[in-house]
Amino acid sequence: MIAVVGSLNLDLVAPVPHHPVPGETVLGGDMAQHPGGKGANQAVAAARAGGEVAFVGRVGDDDAAAVMLEAARGQGVETTHIRRTPGTPTGRALIAVSPAGENTIIVSPGANARLTADDCEAAGDLLRGAAVTILQQEVPDEANHAAARLAGGTVLYNPAPAVEGAQPPPHVDLLVPNRTELAALTGASAVPETLEEVTAAAGELTGAGAVVVTLGGDGVLLVEGTASLHIPAFPVRPVDTTAAGDSFCGALAVALAEGRALADAARWACAAAAISTTRAGAQPSLAGRDEVEALLAG
Ligand code: ADP
C-alpha cells in the first residue's frame, strides 16, 4: 500500500487575454475545472502506475468536496481517511492562463490547511502498514511531522511548492526536490543549474537517506552519501510539463513499493514523468502502467 498525505484542490482555470494588474478587471474565456492539488495528483499518478493507494487529507463541506472525492475514487484511490471539514471550503486553485501560456495561480488552501497531527494519528494503521508514504508541502507541517513519525515504510518527502526556510520533518528516507525546491531547502540565493552545482547543493542536505533531484528535461540526479548518479530524461516531445514532478513522485513510490532499487525505481519514474509531459493538463496527463512499460521496453 502507498499512503499519500496531502492536499486536494479543485483547479479553476480561465483563459485571459492578459493578466490583470491591481484594480483591473479582465474578461476571460470559459472556466474549466479539474481535480488537482499536489497530494491528489501524486495519489492519482501512483494509482495509474499500478499502485494500491490510500489518501489522508481534508476537504470542506461544499460541492467541490464531492468533486474531489469522486475524482479520487474514480481512479481507485482509497478515501476513507479524507475528512470533511464543516464550515470550511475545499481547497481551490484559481489559475489564469494568458495566450502565451503563462499562468498566474492563487491557491486557497481551505480545508487542506486544517489537516492536523490527529488526522494522521487516526490513520495510524494505514501509515504504519504502508510500504511508502508520500508527503508534500501543501498541508501544515504538524501533519507532515506526525505522518513521517508514524510511517512504517519508506518516507518520500517532496518539498513542493518551494517554501523559503522550510525544513523537512525528521524520519524522511527520500527527499525529492526540483532545482528551485533544492535552493529553498539549502537557503541558496541562486538556483543550482549544472550537475556539479546540483550535486554540491544536494550534498548539503543531511538527514534524509537519499536525495533525488528532478531536473526537468535533464532527468534526475540521485545523491546518496558521497555517491551520485545522473539519469537522463527520456527523449519525448513535451507539450505541457504541468504535474511532471507529481507524476515522478507517484511513480517512484510505486516502483519502490514493488521492491525496486532506488536507481531502477528512479528510471521507471522518469519514464512515467516523460509520458505525462506529452499530454495537456495535470491528472489527465498521468501515465498508465502499460505506457510506462512500453516506453521502457523501447
Ligand atoms: P517539477 O514539475 O516538480 O518542476 P521537473 O520539471 O523536474 O519537476 O520534472 C520531473 C520529471 O519529469 C523530470 O525529472 C523528468 O524525468 C520528467 N520531465 C520533465 N520535463 C521533461 C522533458 N522535457 N522531457 C522528458 N522528461 C521530462
pLDDT for res 179: 97
Ligand 1 within 6 A of CB of 241: yes
Q: What are 101-155's pLDDT values in tens digits?
A: 888 999 999 999 999 999 999 999 999 999 999 999 999 999 999 999 999 999 9
Best residue among 38, 178, 278 to mutate for probing ligand 1, ranked by most atoms within 8 Å of CB: 178
Among protein residues, the one with the nearest Cα to ligand 1's atom 3 is 245
Q: What are 265-298's pLDDT values in tens digits?
A: 999 999 999 999 999 888 999 999 999 999 999 8
ipTM, interface predicted TM-score of the complex: 0.99
154-157 β-sheet, strand order: 78-84, 53-59, 2-5, 132-135, 154-157, 174-175, 210-214, 220-224, 227-231
240 in catalytic set:
no
Return mean pLDDT, the chain.
96
pLDDT for res 81: 98
pLDDT for res 86: 96
- How far apart are alpha carbons 234 and 220 in whole angstroms? 11
Interval 91-106 mean pLDDT = 92
pLDDT for res 178: 97
Place of cell 494503521: 125
- How far apart are alpha carbons 263 and 230 in whole angstroms? 9
Closest CA to 201 of 209, 217, 219, 189: 189
pLDDT for res 209: 87
**207, pLDDT greater than 90:** no
DSSP string, 146-205: HHHHH--SEEEE---S--TT--PPSS-SEE--BHHHHHHHHT-SS---SHHHHHHHHHT-
Interval 195-212 mean pLDDT = 92
C-alpha cell at 276: 505525462
pLDDT for res 108: 97
Among protein residues, the one with the nearest Cα to ligand 1's atom 8 is 245
**187, pLDDT greater than 90:** yes
Interval 167-173 mean pLDDT = 93
Q: How confident is the model at residue 164 (pLDDT cuts 50, 70, 90)?
A: confident
**199, pLDDT greater than 90:** yes
Among protein residues, the one with the nearest Cα to ligand 1's atom 10 is 245
- How far apart are alpha carbons 292 and 148 in whole angstroms? 29
Q: What are 209-226's pLDDT values in tens digits?
A: 899 999 999 999 999 988
pLDDT for res 216: 96
- How far apart are alpha carbons 225 and 208 in whole angstroms? 10
pLDDT for res 285: 93
Q: What are 38-62's pLDDT values in tens digits?
A: 999 999 999 999 999 999 999 999 9
Closest CA to 8 of 49, 42, 32: 42
pTM for the structure as a whole: 0.96
Interval 200-209 mean pLDDT = 88
pLDDT for res 183: 96
- How far apart are alpha carbons 197 and 174 in whole angstroms? 20
Best residue among 214, 230, 276, 296 to mutate for probing ligand 1, ranked by most atoms within 8 Å of CB: 214
Interval 223-246 mean pLDDT = 94
Residue 68 and residue 40 in contact, taking contact as beta carbons nearer than 8 Å = yes
pLDDT for res 206: 78
- How far apart are alpha carbons 85 and 95 in whole angstroms? 24
Closest CA to 245 of 6, 19, 1: 6
